[in-house]
């Protein structure tokens, strides 16, 4: 009968959703088991969390490649650093110029002329600076009665053609242009006399023709564009006229400062 009661009690407890079955003395005595390991997962009570996810570390993605250079270099300044040396400054570093033909460059005295009474008279004139590039010599002449004056005369004309193209020693965006002869104070006197009128711009100008292998390029091989190339191609002509236009091919228009003026002799 006792077994039947226990069986019915177990079934009743399962039907109620739980089971609390103890064994031992029927008088309610305590369990004498002294084992302190009550955690089935380990002797210290600790357990690893099986849901923990370890994320592997990865390096950041590489930066995007630099943009491809598609912009040609541009000339932004021309200046004398010596009567026989011009320094050209560009917008970016220039490739080695050892093979650049200096005949790609030519200087001119350029003037824009217009007639204030006749609108149809407007033209740009280019002339070879050689005809103005000569030394002026003056000496004082005195008469017996005490009157003195300066007698001046000009020496032979001096060519002012590009002779060689050299890399600047310090700035990769600059190039040095060596001339056949120095610019004279007489030439600078003329240049400074005709310059300064915005309605009739004038000055000593540099021209350049591109094309072929022996041309100026940037470091990735993009060539410098021509400016004033027609004057370069007219290398044997001392003059060139362009009607009704104001320096049409010279972009940029960069008159070269001419700092070697000669003082005017006293009267």
Question: What is the C-alpha to C-alpha distance for residues 31 and 9, in angstroms, rounded to an integer?
Answer: 22
Partners of 179 in the β-ladder? 162
Question: What is the C-alpha to C-alpha distance for residues 2 and 20, in angstroms, rounded to an integer?
Answer: 18
Q: Give the pLDDT score at 264.
A: 53
Entry field: residues in the chain = 267
Q: Give the pLDDT score at 11.
A: 46
Residues of the chain scoring pLDDT < 70: 1-56, 117-120, 262-267
Q: Give the pLDDT score at 205.
A: 97
Question: What is the C-alpha to C-alpha distance for residues 258 and 67, in angstroms, rounded to an integer?
Answer: 40
pTM surpassing 0.85?
Answer: no
Q: Give the pLDDT score at 84.
A: 96
- Strand segments (E) across 17-118: 75-82, 85-90, 105-114
Measuring CA to CA, which residue among 262, 267, 264 is closest to residue 134? 262
Secondary structure letter of residue 35 according to DSSP: -
Question: What is the C-alpha to C-alpha distance for residues 108 and 238, in angstroms, rounded to an integer?
Answer: 9
Q: Give the pLDDT score at 222.
A: 95
Q: Give the pLDDT score at 201.
A: 92
CB-CB contact of 95 with 213 (8 Å): no
């Amino acid at each position: 009968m006792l077994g039947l009661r226990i069986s019915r009690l177990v079934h009743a407890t399962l039907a109620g959703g739980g089971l609390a079955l103890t064994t031992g003395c029927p008088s309610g005595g305590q369990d004498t088991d002294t084992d302190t390991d009550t955690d089935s997962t380990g002797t210290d009570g600790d357990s690893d969390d099986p849901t923990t996810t370890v994320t592997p570390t990865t390096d950041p993605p590489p930066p995007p490649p630099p943009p491809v250079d598609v912009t040609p270099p541009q000339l932004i300044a021309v200046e004398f650093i010596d009567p026989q040396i011009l320094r050209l400054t560009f917008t970016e570093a220039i490739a080695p110029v050892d093979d650049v033909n200096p005949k790609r460059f030519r200087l001119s005295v350029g003037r824009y002329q217009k007639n204030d009474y006749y609108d149809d008279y407007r033209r740009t004139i280019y002339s070879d600076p050689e005809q103005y590039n000569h030394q002026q010599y003056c000496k004082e002449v005195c008469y017996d009665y005490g009157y003195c004056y300066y007698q001046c005369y000009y020496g032979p004309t001096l060519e002012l053609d590009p002779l060689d193209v050299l890399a600047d020693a310090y700035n990769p965006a600059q190039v040095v242009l060596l001339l056949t002869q120095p610019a004279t104070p007489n030439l600078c006197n003329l240049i400074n006399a005709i310059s300064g009128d915005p309605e009739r711009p004038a000055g000593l100008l540099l021209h350049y023709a591109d094309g072929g292998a022996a041309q100026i390029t940037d470091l990735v091989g993009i060539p410098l564009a021509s400016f004033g190339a027609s004057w370069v191609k007219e290398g044997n002509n001392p003059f060139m006229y362009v009607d009704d236009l104001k320096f049409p091919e010279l972009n940029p228009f960069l008159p070269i400062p001419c700092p070697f003026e000669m003082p005017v002799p006293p009267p």
